[in-house]
């Protein structure tokens, strides 16, 4: 276990979970993927998030993932872990499991499946923070949990010390900027880490004052995101924009899957894994069930996106 920097900054990719053709966790590929990310220059790892297919992985598989990654990383950089489940008691079980395995921070959504009031969302985060031995990051993902974390609530929980950071995958840039500004200007909120999950607007988020980025596409091109982050930190916005636009082009791969045949997760996660297999990082591009696999033609198109971005 390492100590998570305060605030956590930089590129913290949500680590894909390579699977065997039988859909067990492929730990050898997972280790190669972690090495690929570290060599790419990332600043931390986030396992068991949405891009890691946490919604599909069994508890045993989740445990294998966190143990494999923490064991391999050996404290070189912080490892955050998702504790994704429907409501407080189930989330706390995952918190216990991942922190027992050495996670440096936990990433938690608002309750889902249940019909929850904002006061209950706040209570959920407070109860989890009380009982978590490591910092708690809020994961704002309305597409999955069907509620939005308002900036005001995020900042209130930050000021209370309940939340150490935010991973914003809501796509609501106005609300995101409100959190960024609040985190910088309110004295009672210090060390709070504001991270965007939006792959194609990282330069904008960092220009606003965000601390870092959690890009799913960072699995495929970690070095690209590391460069993008560096250009932004150096204030070289022109080079940042060039790098970002290259990554925007690469990101087009998330739509290779035929929408008449599969959902958005199958297409996007299928493309990331196909790209990792094509780049030789992981052995097999299988995604968890009931996701639909990409066709060979769709995989070919992933290859063209890689080539177009100079990655093949």
Q: Which of 111, 165, 212, 222 binds a second copy (CB under 8 A)?
A: 111
Radius of gyration over every alpha carbon of the chain, rounded to an integer in angstroms: 18
Beta strand 136-140 with 165-168 is parallel
In whole angstroms, the minimum distance from the beta carbon of 76 to a second copy comes to: 30
CA-angle at 204, arms to 198 and 210, nearest 5°:
75
For residue 134, what are the contacts with CB-CB under 8 A and spacing of at least 6?
Answer: 4, 99, 103, 104, 105, 106
Q: Which of 136, 291, 298, 309 binds a second copy (CB under 8 A)?
A: 291
Which is it for strands 45-47 and 79-82: parallel, antiparallel or unpaired?
parallel
Q: Name the one range near a second copy by CB under 8 A: 34-42, 69-77, 166-174, 296-304.
A: 166-174
Distance CA 40, CA 126 (A): 36
Taking residue 297's Cβ as centre, other Cβ atoms within 10 Å add up to 9
Counting contacts by CB under 8 A, is residue 204 touching a second copy?
yes
In whole angstroms, give the CA distance from residue 245 to residue 91: 37
Between 35 and 93, whose beta carbon lies closer to a second copy? 93
Residue 193, beta-bridge partner list: 165
Site residues for a second copy, 208-237, by CB under 8 A, read 208, 237
Q: Which is nearer to a second copy, 5 or 142 (CB)?
A: 142
Choose the stretch contacting a second copy; rule: CB under 8 A; options: 1-9, 41-49, 57-65, 71-79: 57-65
Handedness of CA 17, 19, 23, 27 (dihedral sign): negative
C-alpha–C-alpha distance, residues 178 and 181, integer Å: 5
Q: Which positions from 183 through 202 interact with a second copy, judged by CB under 8 A?
A: 198-201
Nearer to a second copy, 159 or 242 (CB): 242
120 binds a second copy, rule: CB under 8 A: yes
Neighbours of 119 (CB within 10 A): 9
Only one of the segments 36-44, 159-167, 203-211, 216-224 lies at the binding site for a second copy (rule: CB under 8 A); that segment is 203-211
Task: Rule CB under 8 A: say whether 296 interacts with a second copy.
Answer: no
DSSP classification of residue 86:
S
Interface ranges with a second copy (CB under 8 A): 23, 50, 55-59, 61, 84, 86-90, 92-93, 111-117, 119-121, 123-124, 127, 143-146, 171-174, 177-178, 181, 198-201, 203-205, 207-208, 237, 241, 245, 248, 259-266, 288-292
């Amino acid at each position: 276990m390492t100590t998570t920097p305060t605030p956590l900054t930089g590129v913290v990719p949500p680590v894909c979970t390579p699977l065997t053709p039988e859909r067990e966790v492929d730990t050898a590929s997972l280790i190669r993927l972690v090495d690929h990310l570290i060599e790419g220059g990332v600043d931390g790892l986030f396992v068991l998030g949405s891009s890691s297919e946490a919604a599909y992985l069994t508890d045993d598989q989740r445990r294998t993932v966190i143990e494999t990654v923490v064991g391999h990383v050996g404290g070189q950089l912080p490892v955050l872990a998702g504790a994704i489940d429907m409501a407080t008691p189930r989330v706390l079980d995952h918190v216990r499991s991942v922190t027992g395995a050495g996670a440096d921070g936990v990433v938690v959504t608002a309750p889902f499946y249940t019909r929850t009031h904002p006061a209950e969302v706040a209570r959920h985060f407070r109860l989890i923070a009380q009982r978590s031995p490591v910092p708690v990051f809020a994961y704002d993902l309305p597409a999955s949990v069907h509620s939005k974390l308002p900036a005001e609530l995020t900042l209130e929980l930050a000021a209370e010390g309940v939340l150490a950071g935010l991973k914003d995958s809501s796509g609501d840039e106005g609300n995101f900027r409100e959190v960024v500004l609040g985190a910088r200007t309110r004295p009672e909120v210090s060390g709070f880490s504001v991270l965007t999950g939006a792959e194609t607007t990282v330069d904008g988020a960092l220009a606003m004052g965000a601390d870092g980025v959690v890009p799913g596409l960072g699995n495929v091109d970690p070095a690209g995101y590391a460069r993008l982050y560096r250009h932004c930190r150096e204030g070289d916005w022109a080079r940042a924009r060039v790098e970002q636009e290259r990554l925007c082009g690469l990101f087009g791969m998330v739509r290779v899957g035929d929408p008449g045949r599969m959902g958005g997760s199958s297409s996007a996660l299928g493309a990331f894994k196909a790209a990792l297999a094509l780049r030789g990082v992981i052995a097999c591009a299988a995604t968890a069930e009931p996701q639909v696999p990409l066709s060979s033609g769709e995989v070919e198109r992933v290859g063209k996106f890689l080539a177009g971005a100079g990655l093949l």
